[in-house]
Amino acid sequence: MKQDLNPRELLATLVSFPTVSRDTNLPLVEWVEGYLQSHGIGSRRLMSPCGTKAHLYAQVGPEIDGGVILSGHTDVVPVDGQAWSTDPWTLTERDGKLYGRGACDMKGFDALALYAMTRAATRDLKRPLQLAFSYDEEVGCAAVIDLVEAMRGELPKAREVLVGEPTMMKVVSGHKGGLGYQVRVRGFEVHSSLLPYGVSAIMQAAKLIDWANQKNAENAVRTPSDLAAPFVPPFTTLHVGMIEGGTAHNITAKDCSFFIEFRFVPGESPDDWAKAFEAKAAELTVEMQKIQPDTGIDLVRGFALPALAPEIDGAAEALARRLTGDNGSHVVSYGTEGSQFQTRGYSTVICGPGDIAQAHQPDEFLSLEQLAAGEAFVEKLLDQLCA
């Protein structure tokens, strides 16, 4: 049965699905499929390799190139260990704010995108409007690659992509890229009094981490490029947030594990950083194996996200500025799925309701004011597509 839900009602429904990245998003996808179908809009699923998640994409309007994609992710981060004052899976209004997990990041925009699609189905569009809902954005922004490729192969080529991550409806034209490695250092145990004859995995890991510290120091004093200068900080950073290893204070550690991430500025190559890091690990491995051949450093690459580079005369940026009236220059240091669209030939910007400071927090919220601004944005977009 056809339902006509406003953005707030749509947001309440989307928040009610606990689509934490470690869990399935299929109940949400199934509901979205049915809601779109009730408005005469067909959609397509693209299943994950594990079969427990799915991307969803759809189109309204003429079968021609030159449309607009509204891109959002359906997954959210966990609420484990967070002190919420309300049920995170029930949208709750208080003091002009709508509380719920994902309300800001980024089901608020998802609700607006669904609203736009159903409104578009009643309008005389001259250019198509496309919807792209992904899974697993919160664990690396890699899964969306399959979605982008599917849309490129099956739908008319869009001209602009609007990724609705929370920007307070400002037009963000660039963000840093990301690269991550899970690192396991394999040492050789001896009593600490015999240190030269053992290999401490922790002390060797410290050398690799100190290499990261040295690179941070070098990057910080280097004159930023024109692409890097707008960022805070205006250089690539390397970071280790967790480390574990060892069995006792008087035994050289047999194992040590940590995760290292690179946040690199546009204009720098993730492949170059990967090669440099892997070369340092290989150099340390040679040193370790001179003492004990069975030692070494194992690297497993995690996420690898391109940077989003500001475009010269970008169509998406021009469109978003017309819709918002924002003429400022904005870049961010976090990553989004937008760069996966851009590197595959789409003009892309980031623009959505809410403050990124609310993302992943307990009592996450989206203000009613921002939701209203997003609704006005959608209405102007539809007018543009009908012009």
Question: What's the CA gap between 87 and 77, in Å, rounded?
Answer: 15
Question: What's the CA gap between 146 and 136, in Å, rounded?
Answer: 12
For tokens 């005469």, the residue is 40
Question: What's the CA gap between 56 and 75, in Å, rounded?
Answer: 13
**Pick from 292, 282, 291, 264: which is nearest to 207 by CA?**
282
Residue 283 three-state SS? helix
Q: Which residues contact 13 (CB under 8 A, 6 or more apart)?
A: 5, 31
CB-based contact 362:82 (threshold 8 Å): yes
Alpha helices in the chain (DSSP H): 7-15, 26-38, 108-120, 144-154, 201-221, 270-291, 315-324, 338-342, 368-386
Question: What's the CA gap between 65 and 134, in Å, rounded?
Answer: 22
Query: In whole angstroms, how far apart are CA 85 and each of 11, 88, 100, 354?
Result: 19, 8, 10, 20
Question: What's the CA gap between 67 and 144, in Å, rounded?
Answer: 19
Question: What's the CA gap between 312 and 179, in Å, rounded?
Answer: 26
Show the tokens assigned to 145: 């690659």
Residue 75 annotated in active site: yes
Which residues pair with residue 129 across a beta bridge?
A: 60, 68
Which position among 75, 136, 138, 326 bears the catalytic label? 75
DSSP 119-149: HHTTS--SS-EEEEEES-GGGTS-THHHHHH
Show the tokens assigned to 316: 């998406």
Show the tokens assigned to 75: 């997954």
**Pick from 206, 296, 299, 212: which is nearest to 254 by CA?**
296
Question: What's the CA gap between 203 and 244, in Å, rounded?
Answer: 12
Show the tokens assigned to 335: 């990553």
Which position among 105, 110, 137, 326 bears the catalytic label? 137
Show the tokens assigned to 288: 């370790």
CB-based contact 164:112 (threshold 8 Å): yes
- What are the residue numbers of the active site? 75, 137
